[in-house]
Amino acid sequence: MTATTGKLVLAGLMASFAVEAAAQEITLYSWREQEIPLWEHISENNLVDGVTINFVRIPADNYDTKLRIDLQDGGPDMFQGRAGAAWLKSFVEAGIVAPLDPSIDLSALAPATLTAGQGADGTQYGVPFAVQMESILYNKGVFEANGIEEPKTLDELNAAAEKLKAAGVTPFSFGGRSGWWLNQVVGEVMTAGLVDDATAQGLIDGSVCFTDPAFVQTLATVKGWMDAGYMNAAPLADDYGAMRTAVALGEAAMMIDGAWSSGPSSPMYEIDPNLEIGFMPVPGENGKVYAFGDGSYLANANTEHAEAVNKVLAFTTTKEFAELFAAKVGELPVYGGDYAIEDPRLAEIAGLVANNSAAATPFFAYALNSGEPSYGQLVADGYQELLNGSITPEDLAAKIQAGLNSWGYAGAANCQ
């Protein structure tokens, strides 16, 4: 081998090492099936400077358990976290997530969404990923086939349910086996529709008790739908997936859910590609949908690919990502500036969020310490008791109140 040949070989090896160093693959765990096309597009088009994202989707009901188990053995480089300090707390305490790298600039994001990735002390751990809307979703075809227009009052909603029931259609599909759906979705949508904003804020700051008639009415309305036969026959036997399937098939007309189920990659369109979904609040005194900043993209503090992860996180804060998110996921991004929305359905959701949404919710407020009965768990367990007929709305409200009182939440002194 000549000296010249040796230099060429060495140069080739160095170039090879450089390519390997530049092209990195990281793993991202998520429960969000709707993001698969987004991350495939980002990787296939090399939009994050040589970083390939291996997107691993885990079903929502098993997500937390699978994530925690895998993190004990290294786990993914990145993962999506649910919104709120309560969910983040155990990961922060275990050293799994660290404060967001200061190189990640969040100034372009809507300020109100940042709490989705913040700890109890306001420290930012993640980049929020969506503005979500939850409401009653209905199958437009079923409504049209039965001559039903969108109800504007509870009386009109109950009349529509009676008409659907007489026609052999289940008015409301309930996936009561999925506790996360009961507390995060049902509880918040019922509150947004039936509890005025001032009272909802009072439930958060402790100036209003959960035994207040307005909150009890949210529970009593659901119980009334069950007692009247407006739900599927066994709501506690059906999970979230079964609930959506029934609506997509037209066996049921309505469900309480997030607008994410109407996105282009929703499995509901695999059942009926021509499905049309409408959105409406619970038409009560408040009559609003519920909107909130969804969870966040988080870095595993122990990843061996921190630089690549930070590149991905930085990309999620850009206008380019926002427009891809709207187009590929079909949900509202958290980007605070102007961006293009071509989907009329998404534009409708944006209008409802901007003009008729209730943001105040006790779901993210209580509780933060391990061992405390959280509001979310109290509501999830309570709705399941309500649906199996073992508790009254009044007793459930008192039980939620007692659970919060047991650890001295903000209003404990006022609500004994």
Q: Is the pLDDT at 1 greater than 50, yes or no?
A: no
- Cα separation, 301 vs 331, in Å, equals 28
Among 214-223, 352-361, 366-375, 403-412, the range with the most confident prediction by mean pLDDT is 214-223
Cα dihedral sign, 26-31-32-36: positive
Structure tokens at 388: 């199996």
CATH fold of the domain at 132-290+361-405: D-Maltodextrin-Binding Protein; domain 2 (3.40.190)
Residue 198 has pLDDT above 80, yes or no: yes
Lowest mean pLDDT among 78-87, 127-136, 393-402: 78-87
pLDDT given for residue 15 in this prediction: 41
Structure tokens at 313: 């996180």
pLDDT in tens, 246-304: 999 999 999 999 999 998 889 999 999 999 999 999 999 999 999 988 899 999 999 99
Pairing of strands 127-128, 296-299: antiparallel
CA 29 vs CA 74, 243, 279, 338: distances in Å: 13, 25, 29, 29
* Residue 367: predicted pLDDT: 72
Is the preceding omega at residue 322 within 30 degrees of 0, hence cis? no
Rounded Cα distance between 350 and 321, Å, is 17
Looking at the chain, the whole-number percentage of residues with pLDDT higher than 70 is 94
Structure tokens at 161: 């349910």
Give the confidence band of 92 by pLDDT, cuts at 50, 70, 90: very high
Which is the CATH superfamily of the domain at 24-130+294-317?
A: Periplasmic binding protein-like II (3.40.190.10)
Distance, in Å, from the CA atom of 3 to the CA atom of 375, rounded to the nearest integer, reads: 73
Q: What is the pLDDT of residue 139?
A: 98
Residue 383 clears pLDDT 60, i.e. is over it: yes
**pLDDT for the residue 23:** 74
pLDDT in tens, 309-331: 999 999 999 999 999 999 999 99
The residue extents of the domains of the chain are 24-130+294-317, 132-290+361-405
Beta strands in 83-236 (DSSP E): 127-128, 131-139, 170-172
- Helices 187-194/197-205 angle, 10° precision: 130
- Asked, colleague to colleague, whether 24-130+294-317 and 132-290+361-405 share their fold, the answer is yes
What are the b/e assignments for 33-65, b being 16+ CB within 10 Å?
bbbbbbbeebbeeebbeebbbebebbebbebbe
pLDDT band of 4, cuts 50, 70, 90 = very low
Residue 107 is classified by DSSP as T
Residue 7 in this model has a pLDDT that exceeds 80: no
For 265, list phi and psi in degrees, rounded to 5: -100, 10
Query: Is residue 146 a contact partner of residue 153, using CB atoms and an 8 Å limit?
Result: no
The average pLDDT across 187-209 equals 95
Contact 330, 133 (CB under 8 A): no
Closest CA to 42 of 320, 305, 317, 294: 320
Q: Is 358 helix (H, G, I), strand (E, B) or coil?
A: strand
Question: Are 113 and 106 within 8 A, CB to CB?
Answer: no
Mean pLDDT in residue range 62-72:
94
Position 370 scores a pLDDT of 66
